[in-house]
Structure 1
Amino acid sequence: MSSQEKRLAGEAAIRYVEKGAIIGVGTGSTVAFFIDALADLRDQIQGAVSSSEQSTAQLKKYGIPVLDLNATGPLNIYIDGADECDPQRRLIKGGGAALTREKIIAEASAKFVCIIDSNKRVDVLGTFPLPIEVIPMARSLIGREIVKRGGQPVWRDGVTTDNGNWIIDVHGWQIADPIALEKDLNQLPGVVSVGLFARRPADVVLIGDRLMD
């Protein structure tokens, strides 16, 4: 059911794509279905701004131009998945280690459409470990700060982000105030980006082919 919902969500997001637009494109298995569907519209859009090398390769495979955000300026629409989504459309993202570029594109976009399957819908964020991208030399420092805040940091050993950094996954948090936690963690020296999309949540959430209530 999960794979079917992902496919339905990816295909349903096509209805938000406008003719002549530049599309912000996220990362992950659900987004891969969206890119498959976007291939049929490649002659009707200007191109895409991609959040990862993985998505860039898939877009280029279909002949969809991949553009630089510095050159495009603000985007009308960003399509991406999530690892968790709460009732206020606040998200945990970063399971695919692309959270920093995803957060940049989301911030640059007027509308953020999040596409998920029903397993990603939660009442309180935190069951999925919270990814934090860190400068490598800050890994232990950030780990100690997380422990002070009641979290259990686990280094995602062997994973380097597209930006050349490392990921710490934080277990054991039930995140009642994701905006406050996002702000707090962002202040720690060595943190590049936090996988909480709370200050800038999704505008629209599709679970399969239906809108989340």
Structure 2
Amino acid sequence: MTDRDADKRLAAAAAVDEVCDNMLVGLGTGSTAAHVIALLAERGLTIETVATSRASAALAERLGLKVRPFDAVARVHLAIDGADAIDADLSAVKGAGGAMLREKIVAAAADRMIVIADGSKRVERLHDTKLPIEILPFARAFAVERLSGLFEQLDERTGYLTDNGNIVVDGHGWNDADLPGLAEALAAIPGVVGHGLFLSEIDAAYIADNGVVTRLERGRNPR
């Protein structure tokens, strides 16, 4: 039986090996990113961090890492985060933990963005994964109506708000034939403030499957 949590930790360890003293490191959100935070704390490097969620910031501070507020940061040396699904082109779906907007901002600010995952997250196509969309509550009905033309089903997360105070709707049954076109269509809907499609942000991925870690680099992988 595959130990997915052990694989997550192996992938996290491979990514953490890229961290050096004096770096400013972006911390992701979720169970996989939690391994990164714990491993960084264990290494005892002289680093500072920024976090993509309150939960990650709290964990990092509890383990002794220095966390800076991101609102005063323009550049991050390295960001490490998990993914819900990732393909051979390093396009990914993220946002199961609801932090996709902050994760995308930190990824965009990073000189290098690494995704870590267990083997179950590596897919040939992304469309079978639910796509999280962050919506301003003021625009709930309007945005959902516009989104209904892009998805077969939309499920709002009941009683849930992101750290930004927004709602999240998960889209099911979507067409991944034109991912840039879909990302553009989502961004064009007033009230949609973020979505979980990461198409150009990821530079590399460490994927662990049954104890074996594979590194993928953008533009260097055999198809």
Q: TM-score normalized by structure 2?
A: 0.90
Once the two structures are TM-superposed, the CA of residue 210 in structure 1 deviates from its matched residue by 2.3
1:1-213 maps to which residues of 2 (within 5 A)? 1-45=3-47, 47-198=48-199, 200-208=200-208, 209-212=213-216, 213=221
Identity of aligned residues (%): 37
State the one-letter code of the partner of 1:116. Answer: A
Q: Deviations over 1:140-194 (max 9, x none)?
A: 2122112222431111111110000000000011312222111110110000101
Separation (CA, whole Å) in 2 of partners of 1:83 and 1:134: 20
Q: Which runs of 5+ in 2 are unaligned?
A: none
Q: Deviations over 1:97-119 (max 9, x none)?
A: 01111011001001000000111
Runs of 4+ in 1 over 3 A off after TM superposition: none
Check 1:19–1:89 CA distance in 2 against 1; reply closer, same or farther (3 A cut). Answer: same
Paired residues of 1:146 and 1:152 also in contact (CA < 8 A): no
State the one-letter code of the partner of 2:214. Answer: R
- Number of residues paired by the alignment? 211
Paired residues of 1:91 and 1:201 also in contact (CA < 8 A): no
Q: Which runs of 5+ in 1 are unaligned?
A: none
Once the two structures are TM-superposed, the CA of residue 40 in structure 1 deviates from its matched residue by 2.2
Once the two structures are TM-superposed, the CA of residue 43 in structure 1 deviates from its matched residue by 4.2
Q: TM-score normalized by structure 1?
A: 0.94
Which range moved further: 22-31 or 67-76?
67-76
